[in-house]
Amino acid sequence: MLLFVLIFLLLFVAANAYILSRGWQLLEAAGAFRRVYLVASVLWAALFLAGMLLKRQLDSAAADMLWRVGAWWLVVLLYGFLASASFDFLRGICWISGKKLPEMIPHYPQLKWILFAVFSFALAAVMGAGYYNGTRAKVKTLELSVAKNIPGKQELHIVAVSDLHLGAVYTKRSLRRWVAQINALQPDIVFLLGDTFDDNPAPVIRENAGALLAQIHAPLGVFAVTGNHEMMGHPAKAMDYLSQHGVQPLLDTAVLVDNRFYVVGRLDRSAWGRKTIDSLTAPLDKALPVILLDHQPREWGDIARAGVDLSLSGHTHHGQLWPLNLLTERLYEQDWGYLQKDAMHFYTTCGLGAWGPPVRTAGRAEILQLRVRFEAGGDE
């Protein structure tokens, strides 16, 4: 763990030094604003680092505020790095060809100042659009057929959400809007697919946000599993809080719902001693539908062989910030969306909240609505 922290700090400092030095060079003709830029950027980066470290440890509104402001630096860092690397690539091409940009472009110092201003306005626009995508969820509706008959039940209406990351950034105000959207869909059952909390559940408890979770209307219940962020924080405290507010945690357990179908909830794969999918499903009556909740979309081959009919995951955020989605698309078999293996259905939702800044430039916040038909021999 200490080695990971040291590597992270080294990379963070190096990346910040790189983009700040490139910004300093661009502002050659900016006069006193050059120093204002440097001081403000260093302070913002320090807020990011302090907020990320303190929010996990302290039950403090001040620590929450540090993270709420500092988290936005992640967007500046990513796109500042990409812009700086692109500019250096252009300079490298000129250097290889035996030319230098100052010799090729008239009024080069002034042009650099203009480029900095254009980038700043473009970044502000990206942040604004990304904030809308990260705080205004769309409903994704999917209809599936499971080739099993359930007496007295032809269709199940499911609403599933993942990665709410409730805490310092996504607060009671966000949750109130989400609960209203979920209830408007009138689901039979609701699933919380992990990372309901952003590490430390203290801000959620302090705000009494659980009172809103208790307002979710679902006749067959509300069920939750842990995600990696619960495991990095206080998992027992988080799950106890959910259970106190009408949400049933499933921690490597299976429940028979309405005497008609099973819901199996796995501990996050980062948890020590997590049970195998075979051990969880072996005792179940496979004549009944089996729905699996597993935060991280892994082991899908094993899940299909274990007789699961529908598996729901989150975790990936579909990268959250472009172009990180290009990475998650290669790390996961299906980092976002629907996949079918034989008769088994899998869906990875890109999530409802976000980690760090409430910004999405790769996709939009999502509430998953599933209408599952039960009919022997049916296909999707």
Confidence check: pLDDT of 70 > 90:
yes
Instruction: Say what the pLDDT of residue 59 is.
Output: 85
Coil, strand or helix: which one is 191? strand
Q: Strands, E, within the chain: which ranges?
A: 138-146, 155-161, 189-192, 222-224, 247-249, 253-257, 261-265, 290-293, 310-313, 337-341, 344-348, 366-374
Q: Is the dihedral of CA 264, 268, 273, 274 positive or negative?
A: positive
**Mean pLDDT, range 116-145, rounded to an integer:** 96
Question: Tokens standing for 78?
Answer: 């990513």
Confidence check: pLDDT of 280 > 80:
yes
Q: What is the pLDDT of residues 285-323, one digit of tens each?
A: 999 999 999 999 999 999 999 999 999 999 999 999 999
Q: What is the pLDDT of residues 135-165, one digit of tens each?
A: 999 999 999 999 998 877 789 999 999 999 9
Instruction: Say what the pLDDT of residue 103 is.
Output: 66
Domain 137-374 sits in CATH at 3.60.21
Instruction: Say what the pLDDT of residue 380 is.
Output: 42
- pLDDT-based confidence at residue 110 (cuts at 50, 70, 90): confident
Domain boundaries, the chain: 2-133, 137-374
**Mean pLDDT, range 249-265, rounded to an integer:** 96
d(CA 203, CA 55): 9
**Mean pLDDT, range 200-219, rounded to an integer:** 94
Instruction: Say what the pLDDT of residue 71 is.
Output: 96
